[in-house]
Amino acid sequence: MKEFFTTHPYFTTDTMKPFNPKDYKRYIIGSNLFKKDMLRMIILRGTSVQDPTNILEGDYKDGRRLLSFKSIDDVKSKEKALKGIIKELVKNIDV
C-alpha cells in the first residue's frame, strides 16, 4: 500500500494490491483519538451491516458509521455487538 499513507491506523484482512483508498472496499475499521479519554472507531462500511443493538452512530454519505468508547466498561458492554459487526464486514468484504 505504498500509494496511500494515513495518520490513523486501519485494519484490513490481507496483503492488499493497489486500489483507490477512497473506495473503502477492503478497509474495515479505522480508529481516531477524537477527544481526550475517548476512542472512536470508524466502521468504514458501517451502513452495510446489521446493528441490532444500535451501537453505531452517524449517517454519512460514504457509508461510514462511528463507534465511540468512553471507558473500559463501555468497551466491554459493546464487545459482543462489535464482534458481530466485524464478522459480518469480513464475510462480505469485496476482494
**What is the pLDDT confidence band of residue 23, given thresholds at 50, 70 and 90?**
low
Query: Which residues 6+ apart lie within 8 Å of 8 measured at CB?
Result: 30, 31, 32, 42
Classify residue 48 by its DSSP letter.
Answer: G
Measure the CA–CA gap between 75 and 24, rounded to whole angstroms: 25
| Lowest mean per-residue pLDDT among 34-43, 49-58, 65-74 | 34-43
Q: Which residues contact 19 (CB under 8 A, 6 or more apart)?
A: 25, 26
Measuring CA to CA, which residue among 45, 16, 43 is closest to residue 30?
43
Give the pTM. Answer: 0.69
